[in-house]
Structure 1
Amino acid sequence: MNRVIEVENLSKRYGDTVAVDGLSFTVRPGRVTGFLGPNGAGKSTTMRMILGLDHPSGGQVRIEGGSYRQLREPLRRVGALLEAGAVHPRRSAYAHLLWLAQSNRIPKARVRAVLALTGLDGVARKRAGGFSLGMTQRLGIAAALLGDPPVLLLDEPVNGLDPEGILWIRNLMNALAGEGRTVLVSSHLMGETALTAQHLVVIGRGRLLADTTVREFIQANSRSYVRIRTPEPELMRDALAAAGLSVKQAADGALEVDEAGPEAVGEVVAANGLTVHEVSVQSASLEEAFMRLTRDAVDYRAAGR
């Protein structure tokens, strides 16, 4: 079965504003794909076009080889979380899910199953209007999972969840991908994405910036280095340079050595009898890599103090 999402030369204009600009990428099954970009990058617009909620100005999207609108009983094929709060406030969690299930010939037993899976079975008969943000989010996730779909699109799924809930959804997404499902997750939380996703699609101003694994993305767009604090910075700098190591000075006075491990730095320190207060490896992070890659694609930037 073809569980691939194919986005091909996708574009969307609103008057003179270009929200998505010739975007192409493929989301494959068996892994969690993180969908990243600054505010206004076009992520939500792209996801809405994938689901047929917005009509493209150009290009096309295929799910299982065709458009979303061509799918029979779409909840059985694609599960989506875009607006968790899109539920009538006077309707109970059970009634909301039952209505969705009946629209796609999904058995009642599945309603009870997703309520239990999302931890909402104890409040199933309560009105959704009284739910907390986290409970509303869980209800949205339950709706996405209702048809046991092979393809999932989740926009900011950890929004409003407590730490236990974040761990739960992280494990759930990886378990679903491990079953061979296609999972596309949009998020602003770099740390959480680093723990969840195996592949990344990164866009900026509606254009594709990266389509690669998390590891390759971090390696290509950030740096790892050894940080050194010493009361003898000039002597340390000279000793490191004499050993052929490239050294920079940070804003706080610490020294930073690229392309060398702590072992090489330690040998220089020992050979020259120097005093150090810190020698630590500063590992590259997804957040740093994302900030470096998207710094020219940010539309809204806060002023520094």
Structure 2
Amino acid sequence: MRIAELDNWHQLLKDPSCKRGSDRSQGLGKTMVIDKGMGIHSFTDFVQVAGPYVDIIKIGFGTAVLYRPEVLRKKLELAASSGIITMPGGTLLEAAVQQGTVHSFLETISALGFTGIEVSDGTIEMDRMKRTKLIKDCVRRGLTVTTEYGKKAAGSLIDPEELAFTAQCDWEAGAELVTIEARESGVNVGLFDEKGQCREDVLDEVIGKFGKFDMLMWEAPMKSQQADLLLQFGPSVHLGNIAPADALGLEAMRRGLRSDTFQFGQRAEYTDYMI
């Protein structure tokens, strides 16, 4: 076989689920990756390999201010050229709120080339009016707004009633997605217990509050968590705080190309090889 033909995988092997093409065209099954400090070469390799399957890259926590500006701009430009939204971590916006520098923060991220923002109050307290104003101000600046529900403190749980209210207010203010907090660890916070396992009772309560989930994103840094949520909601679920090294593996799970979700694959009615 000639090298030029090596990318001609059968469509049923590229996507046994037969869903990812339509999902991607409808903006479903988004993947948000958290970048905790990749250098230019690593970032370039990551975008070349996994970029087609990543929708958002978050420059984690407050790390954006620690980059040399020319390095950060190069990363943001590379992501933008691949159609990937970039945003600083929500903690950096919380620091700006705490320090009274929100206007300067928003001016700076726009000038640097960020195309999105995460509005959160995982560490600070922010009243509803201030949260709504921030979301609307960011939308007016042309930023794609993702908000986050939940606190970062160990043992913090999801209040389904509060989540439903917060999500509705955020969506009405212009947020495109509401993310459910699980930190970068996925342990003992939000949906997950001290071992990183899904709290099924909490998930059931949340499911009972929402008719559809196409505007919710679940932070799920562990493979087991990703598999649980994929099996619960299907390939179309939005998942966040994915490690760069895990992005391609997650896409394989979405398509039914890993044993965890092998059942997503469609059984062919014909075969090109008799066994």
Question: TM-score if structure 2 supplies the norm length?
Answer: 0.36
